[in-house]
Structure 1
């Protein structure tokens, strides 16, 4: 069947868009702050690398949210709404946790603060499962691109506010005030949720056994090994280049403050703007054209990082050339994420929305994190320029794969999973 691009007006109410944007932003506020601030505070106190590694583990929680996503699809809060109930619970927890941290010193009481930080990571990942499920069941096909543009931009904005603006304010306002601001910012979404009437078709919850079985039966319905390979290759190419940005700038002699300004502030703003633009344009382009263009844009971003090391701007690249290359990379980084997230949403069954989307996202995230972790090892083995070349070649392979028509069109819906029998 030939895909037809559309320019229809938005059917989803404005309030739903504001809520989705708010949820996708506030889920990262506390986690973004803790991931940066705790590392900085512990480093100032001369903490061991083993203790610092505990902070970095907080981000890996999201990759394993598929393990409890079926529980969110199965258990329903009758009066509160199926996913709305989960959102109220997790968002309230994300407000309370920073308030509880106010009672502790982040260094002297590290064990208590870290336990609460783990709770924040679990709550934010769980909130994301419920938010994704509502988005999957609410947004019509023509609006999923914009929805995923808002998802990506919201996450970047949350990280920028929590891990950037509030971290910079920390020396002036202190730990307690930062925790208060995190709680207040997160509470905005909680207030919005009070007035939410959960949209979407009412479905009989599936049994937990059926939902956990989706971890195995989903892939044949979604396109088999081919779609799994896409979720491994595309983020691998993008993640490898991402993992090279900081080492590239450190090698060029940049200070950490300058690296943070360019990557965390300018990079986040450029990436967020790019995500929103691609999300808006996706229904006008159509799925296949959008996938090809996003893969090509990602290739251009990877090549931009390689250009200074190929002689443009002098040996190793001038400051101006490196700044331009990094900014171009961040501008080109998010379109592929938005398009792939939209295609993931297209493959979701409404009765198992949280499970289906989380399964795909976990594969995507593990591949991206794995390649970013691999980047420093490749630099040691191959050198900076050859490692950049490997990233560009992986991005080129993504462009070639994107031309396959079947990738951008999900298979015909399979027989819905069997609902749970009434007890």
Structure 2
């Protein structure tokens, strides 16, 4: 009996840690996403520019390039996972403080560079968190663990998104400025670093890797050099090439000159990727970046590996497309107030996401992984039509609510705030379905990882998952201005369909992941 109680206590500790780490992961993501969009919007930055500034999240799609170093090297005192985690969290505290001292309207380039640095350190933190969570949880705990991870993640976004929007509303909230919000978040990241150092349990890990440290360091430098060459050549010749290929076609259209420029910039970006990624792959092989190459070989050795990568890109694509410009859509196009958006889209909406994630985790115990992905994915797709309805019908179509004034100390509303009924309905459906889909998706990613290369492989998989969230931003900003918001949300719904078709095709491969594999490992860390 005492042994059973000890096992339960240990399992509860693991799940509590996963929730805390989800919070740590979600906090900086919102600060380079929707919270940053709100700051840029209130500073008068145009929609297309805000769309392009979603590219500050680029490190999330390339983190698999440096993740092998976190698999390979162990920092002193705290060990391989915890050491990197504390280091990245302290780094986030410092960079967020620097960002709080920079004005977007006065120096948009410096602001963007610091935001990229926040995303880089945040992506590095995610590499460690994802690997630690995957190594920590037992196979039977992954569905519930994924749900609790999403819960912690969304709680952080309630704070850095919803509550921050209320704090910055001059009439309703606390009258905070965005720099003050970012300084507060920097202090909170420092507190999380202390908790990570003290509260995280030791891991069971695979044996140490036998690759030469020198090879991994040289390989990483070679990959960085290849990326730098690709960026330089794209910057030097990309615009000329894009103008030669597409300039005449755009000039012959009736499109406004500013939008023509945006389409050309998008073409430059795509051509740069097509050139740079193969160059980086060649550099990794030439320099024998073995931890990266070994992790990739291990992943691609499993059944359906390449098809899984395409599915990972597609599964959240429609959701990411609809959400990429959600804050400017609600604040500028729909003219909702900052406090109203904060209360509905961030506070109420994100609590509903948490509820969706917990319900999704519970349903996965009955549905299994494949059916959960299919059902929750279909709900995600349908939820995008709600924003189409909102864009077509506008405000005031459905009876709303009146949120009374409150003062909870850390957040308050100075006056009762009306909440549009249509906005509440659409946000509720979108967040519940999104939370369910995310819980199933995280469990799916964990099931694909080999413990020896957890950081490398999960970073690769989550980088592909971030493709939609990061790369659709520039296209979304241009399309929203080109075709209008109703057509934009219809397109986002259509983009969600291919993943569901592909999931039916991958049925047997996904169901094979539901089998609990034999696990082994000596204690470490």
Given the two structures, how large is their TM-score scaled by the length of structure 2? 0.65
Unaligned runs of 5+ in 1: 1-8, 417-423
Counterpart selection for 1:236 from 317, 338, 341: 317
State the Cα distance separating 1:25 from its structure 2 match: 1.3
- 8 Å CA contact 1:243, 1:373 repeated in 2: no
SS of 2:84's equivalent in the other structure is helix
CA distance in 1: counterparts of 2:41 and 2:482, whole angstroms: 28
State the Cα distance separating 1:76 from its structure 2 match: 1.7
CA distance in 2: counterparts of 1:101 and 1:46, whole angstroms: 18
State the Cα distance separating 1:232 from its structure 2 match: 2.4
Aligned to 1:340: 441
State the Cα distance separating 1:365 from its structure 2 match: 1.0
Following superposition of structure 1 onto structure 2, how do residues 147-186 of structure 1 map, counting pairs within 5 Å? 147-166=145-164, 168-169=166-167, 172=175, 178=181, 181-186=184-189
Following superposition of structure 1 onto structure 2, how do residues 262-273 of structure 1 map, counting pairs within 5 Å? 262-273=344-355
CA distance in 2: counterparts of 1:197 and 1:256, whole angstroms: 44
Aligned to 2:285: none
Aligned to 1:129: 127
State the Cα distance separating 1:358 from its structure 2 match: 1.0
State the Cα distance separating 1:373 from its structure 2 match: 4.5
CA distance in 1: counterparts of 2:154 and 2:91, whole angstroms: 21
Moved more, 139-148 or 47-56: 47-56
- 8 Å CA contact 1:99, 1:179 repeated in 2: yes
Structure number with bigger Rg: 2
Correspondence 1:193 to 2:295: no
C-alpha spacing 1:367/1:214, structure 2 compared with 1 (3 Å): farther
Aligned residues: 404
C-alpha spacing 1:331/1:46, structure 2 compared with 1 (3 Å): closer
CA distance in 2: counterparts of 1:140 and 1:199, whole angstroms: 11
State the Cα distance separating 1:78 from its structure 2 match: 5.5
1:91-112 Cα distance to aligned partner (Å, 9 max, x none): 222334455667x465778887
The CA RMSD over aligned residues, in Å, is 4.0
CA distance in 2: counterparts of 1:41 and 1:408, whole angstroms: 41
- 8 Å CA contact 1:137, 1:200 repeated in 2: yes
Given the two structures, how large is their TM-score scaled by the length of structure 1? 0.79
Aligned to 2:302: 221
CA distance in 2: counterparts of 1:281 and 1:309, whole angstroms: 32
CA distance in 1: counterparts of 2:435 and 2:19, whole angstroms: 16
Aligned to 2:225: none
- 8 Å CA contact 1:242, 1:372 repeated in 2: no
C-alpha spacing 1:93/1:378, structure 2 compared with 1 (3 Å): closer
SS of 1:80's equivalent in the other structure is coil
Correspondence 1:76 to 2:74: yes
Counterpart selection for 2:374 from 292, 295, 300: 292
CA distance in 1: counterparts of 2:178 and 2:493, whole angstroms: 42
C-alpha spacing 1:352/1:229, structure 2 compared with 1 (3 Å): same
State the Cα distance separating 1:256 from its structure 2 match: 4.8
Following superposition of structure 1 onto structure 2, how do residues 285-364 of structure 1 map, counting pairs within 5 Å? 285-306=367-388, 320-364=421-465
Aligned to 2:207: 203
- 8 Å CA contact 1:222, 1:347 repeated in 2: no
- 8 Å CA contact 2:384, 2:492 repeated in 1: yes
- 8 Å CA contact 2:38, 2:328 repeated in 1: no
- 8 Å CA contact 1:94, 1:120 repeated in 2: yes
